[in-house]
Amino acid sequence: MTDHIETDVVIIGAGPVGLFAVFELGLLDIKCHLIDILPKVGGQCAELYPEKPIYDIPGFPMVTGQGLVDNLMAQIEPFHPTFHLNEMVESLESIGTPEAPLFRVRTSENGTTFTCKAVIIAAGGGSFQPKKPPIENIEAYEGTGVYYAVRKMEMFRNKKVLIVGGGDSALDWTVNLQPIAKRLTLLHRRDAFRAAPHTVEKMRSLVASGDMDLHLGQVTSLKGEEPVLEGAVIRKDDGSEFTVDCDVMLPFFGLTMKLGPIADWGLNLHENLIPVDTEKFETNVSGIFAIGDINTYPGKLKLILSGFHEGALAAQKVHRYVYPEKKLLFQYTTSSTSLQKKLGVAA
Amino acid sequence: MGVIHVTDRAGQRHTLEAIEGWRVMEIIRDWGLPIEGLCGGACECATCHVFVAEEWLGRLYPPTEEEEDQLDTVMTQPNSRLSCQILWTPELDGLEVTLAPTGA
């Protein structure tokens, strides 16, 4: 079943800049939906450095990545944005005119479609995707013998499973799949794991009792007539090689960022960035804006604070598309009763 | 003042002027070679992975636990390092590194 949603603005990316755009649009009575490929909001702040202190957010001598995201969520709460997480925007199609833009946006996972008057791309470095190990012809086995995520455990019943990695995902799936796999092998670069200690302990006891194998080394090539995986060649630190028989390999090497489908939307691109003007932060397509790390213009600094500024200015132009008849009055939240009403703080 | 030598993924060797106090990743990026440095030097992504020439390996500060954790997420060799974790000082004049392949 496909959902269809009509709204004012679709924001692609729920990182700090996309979140703050909700605030600036909200003050102008503009409703929005946010789409993000991650299962949670916050983008890089939440995914890459939730615990890391940030020192250059105005007004915060120090705030962590997650702390900033939590505060932004509290700040935009009055505007009730709708989040579509775990979804990637697959297509963006212009169905309006430059004077009255209209867009159809479609996501991949649920196939939700949106009709909206403006699109704000706040996608940072692109969409987070599993890091693929640089093994020749690995693509040939993807979906048949190589998986970067476990969607259904049943798929791995009675299979010879090779899990690669030393983090939480690798260790969690080792412990979870071991009981149903025909044989499970865990491969890691070194004998140290950065996963929950009790999971590491559990894995070690399974190795000690002979119920699974642990090898140290790295996969250098894959064996089997494509696309049927039969084994992986592993190189140890001393340079020697051996083969592990396996039907499936699950590499868990963390996430990386890719521009993805954005490249196919007819936007001008410059080295994987989207050029915009510095008055409205609009792209070469009327009604499509780009703010935050994903845009470029003379003097661009990839700072969160720049993205906040860009969102505020873009919102002014979005207002003209959403309310072509209305004149926009510039107001301050300190003094405007109407803005305070929108924020739910009017006396 | 000094230099570093960087071999790119096409096998071409570049000699880059280095600046004291800069991370090797930043020097490589500033000269326009294709190094991603996605997280900006926070030791959070491993996209600045390089192979350090054997003769230089012992002259670098050993990797921290945090760097090892990130190296777990890429295909390493015994001479793998994250270039954002190498601060350039005049003792590293002539440092020789090779850009590691990027993931697919």
What residue spans define the domains of chain B?
A: 2-99
pLDDT tens, position by position, A201-215? 999 999 999 999 999
Share of chain A above pLDDT 90, in %: 82
| Residues whose CB is less than 8 angstroms from the CB of residue A160 and which lie 6 or more positions away in sequence, other chains included | A181, A182, A183, A185, A245, A246, A247, A248
CB A307 within 8 A of CB A328: no
| CB-based burial label for B103 (10 Å; 0-12, 13-18, 19+) | buried
Q: Which of B9, B45, B54, B70 to mutate to test the interface with A (most CBs of A within 10 A)?
A: B45
Whether A183 and A213 have beta carbons less than 8 Å apart is answered as: yes
pLDDT for position A28: 96
A49–B38 CB contact, under 8 Å = no
> pLDDT (tens digit, 9 = 90+) per residue, A239-283?
899 999 999 999 998 888 888 899 999 999 998 899 999 999 999
Query: Quick check: A53 and A63 in contact, CB under 8 A?
Result: yes
CB-based contacts of A179, cutoff 8 Å, min separation 6: none
Cis peptide preceding A133, ω within 30 of 0: no
Q: Is A71 part of the contact surface with chain B (CB cutoff 8 Å)?
A: no
Mean pLDDT over A1-18 rounds to: 93
pLDDT tens digits, residue range A168-204? 899 999 999 999 999 999 999 999 998 899 999 999 9
* Same-fold call for A4-129+256-342 versus A132-253: yes
User: What superfamily would CATH give domain A132-253?
Assistant: FAD/NAD(P)-binding domain (3.50.50.60)
Which one-letter amino acid corresponds to residue B27?
I
CA pair distance A300, A289, nearest whole angstrom = 15
Examine the pLDDT at B103 and tell me if it is beyond 70. Answer: no
More confident residue, A47 or B50: B50
CB A177 within 8 A of CB A156: yes
Amino acid A129: pLDDT: 84
Q: By C-alpha distance, which of A64, A243, A250, A225 is closest to A155?
A: A250
Phi and psi torsions of A239, nearest 5°:
95, -15
CB contact under 8 A, A131 and B73: yes
Q: What is the domain partition of chain A in residue ranges? A: 4-129+256-342, 132-253
pLDDT band at B104 (very low <50, low <70, confident <90, very high): very low
Q: Output the CA–CA distances (angstroms, integers) from residue A31 to A76, A78, A190, A321, in the order listed.
A: 12, 11, 50, 13
Mean of the per-residue pLDDT values of chain A: 94
pLDDT of residue B55: 95
Mean pLDDT on A103-114? 90
Tell me the CATH number of domain B2-99, given options 3.40.1160.10, 3.10.20.30, 3.40.50.720, 3.40.50.300: 3.10.20.30
Q: A66 vs chain B: nearest CA distance in angstroms?
A: 15
Residues of B in contact with A131 (CB under 8 A): 73-74, 103
Q: Tens digits of per-residue pLDDT, B2-36?
A: 999 999 999 999 999 999 999 999 999 999 999 98
CB atoms within 10 A of CB A243: 12
Contact A252, A187 (CB under 8 A): no
Residue A1, pLDDT > 60, answer no
In the structure, what pLDDT confidence band is assigned to residue A18 with cuts at 50, 70 and 90?
A: very high
- The residues, ordered by sequence, that sit 6+ positions from B44 with a Cβ below 8 Å of its Cβ are A48, A49, A52, B70
pLDDT for B27 equals: 95
Of all residues in chain B, the one with the smallest CA distance to A271 is B34
Burial A63-96 (b: 16+ CB within 10 A, else e): bbbbbbbeebbeebeebebebbeebbbeebebee
Topology classification of domain A4-129+256-342: FAD/NAD(P)-binding domain (3.50.50)
